[in-house]
């Protein structure tokens, strides 16, 4: 384990197994349909690439970048779109792929914005869900894992752009992100 880690929450193998299961379920749910997968940059990119390799349907990609954290360890509550979609989603089956949902503010904002663009369907897939932190209700259609309120990094998740490359998910020591001694 990385020396800045407090504990490993999800091993590389646990993640691989669950991502493959999600891919099979999504393949079945969208059987016979084309799917537009929207990855939320940067955190979801590793999850997204592993997930789509487990989906057997025709897939198209697009990406959005949003910010609600800046360089802080806690959300500002204000969501900004930093990079919007390249193509229209009108009349398309859309799956938003996110790394983690905690307060729900970002996904609530995104689902309202994207719903107004007329997709045939719009669903959310997240690797990690922190329901104890939810401020705004968000319906998650596909969930990898529900986790406690640890500050987590690895497998695409970061703190100040570090730790994304770890193949597992670990709780970061509070002294690293200013959350305690």
DSSP letters of 133-157? G-SS----SEEEEE--S--EEBTTB
Cis amide leading into 42 (omega within 30): yes
In this predicted model, which residue has the larger pLDDT, 1 or 37?
Answer: 37
Per-domain boundaries in the chain: 5-177
* Tens-digit pLDDT profile for residues 57-66: 999 999 999 9
Query: Is 71 known to be catalytic?
Result: no
Task: Point out the catalytic residue in the list 99, 102, 129, 158.
Answer: 102
Q: What is the CATH number of domain 5-177?
A: 3.40.50.2020
pLDDT(145) > 60: yes
What are the CA-CA distances from residue 39 to residues 12, 49, 174 (Å)?
A: 21, 9, 28
pLDDT at position 1: 83
Mean pLDDT of 61-89: 80
The percentage of the chain sitting over the pLDDT mark of 90, rounded to a whole number, equals: 86
**Mean per-residue pLDDT over the chain, rounded:** 93
List of E strands, 5-130? 5-10, 35-41, 59-67, 80-83, 93-101, 121-129
Average the pLDDT over 21-48 and give the result. Answer: 97
Reported as a single tens digit per residue, the pLDDT across 166-181 is 999 999 999 988 876 5
Judged against a pLDDT cut of 50, whether residue 72 lies above it is answered with no
Give the tokens for residue 42. 């940067």
Question: Lowest-confidence range among 46-55, 71-80, 126-135?
Answer: 71-80
Distances (CA, A) of 81 to 41, 57, 71: 11, 28, 16
8 in helix, strand or coil? strand
Using alpha carbons only, give the angle 33, 107, 95 rounded to the nearest 5 degrees. Answer: 10
Q: Provide the pLDDT for residue 180.
A: 62
């Amino acid at each position: 384990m990385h020396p800045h880690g407090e504990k490993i929450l999800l091993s590389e193998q646990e993640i691989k197994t669950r991502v493959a299961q999600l891919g099979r379920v999504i393949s079945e749910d969208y059987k016979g349909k084309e799917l537009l997968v929207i990855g939320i940059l940067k955190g979801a990119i590793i999850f997204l690439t592993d997930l789509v390799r487990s989906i057997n349907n025709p897939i198209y990609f697009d990406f959005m970048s949003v910010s609600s954290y800046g360089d802080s360890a806690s959300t500002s509550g204000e969501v900004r779109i930093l990079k919007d979609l390249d193509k229209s989603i009108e009349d398309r089956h859309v799956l938003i792929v996110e790394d983690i949902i905690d307060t729900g503010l970002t996904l609530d904002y995104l689902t309202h914005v994207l719903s107004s663009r007329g997709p045939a369907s719009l669903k959310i897939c997240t690797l990690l869900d922190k329901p104890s932190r939810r401020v705004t209700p968000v319906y998650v259609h596909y969930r990898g894992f529900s986790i406690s309120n640890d500050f987590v990094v690895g497998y695409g998740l970061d703190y100040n752009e570090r730790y994304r490359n770890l193949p597992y998910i670990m709780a970061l020591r509070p002294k690293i992100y200013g959350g305690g001694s």
